[in-house]
Amino acid sequence: MFSTRPLFVNTHWVLERGIIEPIVIVRRTANPYAALVEVRASFDALTQVFDTLDRRNLSVLVDMRLAPPRDDPEFDRAAADQPNHLSRDFVRSAVLIRTATGLLHVQRHMQRLGLPMKVFSDEVQAIEYLRGRMDPPSARGGTIPPRRG
């Protein structure tokens, strides 16, 4: 069991911290951005809280499973530097996604940015990785979600 307490909530993000374990979880809500200006504003508010955390003693999980699909160039530009803010200086960092397409998109994005975030489709595996109890996905051949249907 992994118990958390909320640290921050806005329309697009929920930030939780492990009660016992040194892990923070950033969960993207299902609410779409109505305008590109909301992207920067939502991340700015989240970053203010992140800046109060002792990142060097914490790991982070960014849960993108509820994020509305979006792959347009304008959005990519508006959110381009945000993964750096979400992963910088943490002991370990991971991204949780829902689909195989999402996995490939996030892996390409992280590779392009040179970020050490590992990508998972299973929350239990992601938490185990952040706890240091398992190898990262690249050492195990990835974590592409099973096909449904």
pLDDT number for residue 104: 73
Pairing state between β 23-28 and 13-18: antiparallel
Mean pLDDT of successive 10-residue segments in the chain (149 residues)? Answer: 90 94 96 87 88 94 89 72 74 89 72 78 93 65 42
pLDDT number for residue 114: 75
Residue 30 structure tokens: 């299902």
Q: Which residues pair with 61 in a beta bridge?
A: 25, 94
Domain map (residue ranges) of the chain = 4-140
pLDDT number for residue 18: 95
Q: Identify the three-state secondary structure at position 56.
A: helix
Dihedral, CA of residue 91, residue 24, residue 117 and residue 63, to nearest 10:
170
pLDDT number for residue 148: 44
Residue 17 structure tokens: 């911290």
pLDDT number for residue 1: 63
pLDDT number for residue 106: 73
Q: Across the chain, where does the E strand assignment appear? A: 4-9, 13-18, 23-28, 59-63, 93-96, 118-120
Which residues are within 8 A (CB) of 38 and not within 5 positions of it... i.e. 6 or more apart?
11, 12
Residue 92 structure tokens: 């370990």
pLDDT number for residue 137: 58
Name the CATH architecture for the domain at 4-140. Answer: 2-Layer Sandwich (3.30)
pLDDT number for residue 138: 53
pLDDT number for residue 145: 42
pLDDT number for residue 100: 78
Nearest partner of 86 among 71, 96, 99, judged by Cα = 96
pLDDT number for residue 24: 97
The count of residues in the chain is 149
pLDDT number for residue 149: 45
Which residues are within 8 A (CB) of 96 and not within 5 positions of it... i.e. 6 or more apart?
61, 62, 63, 64, 65, 120, 121, 122, 123, 126
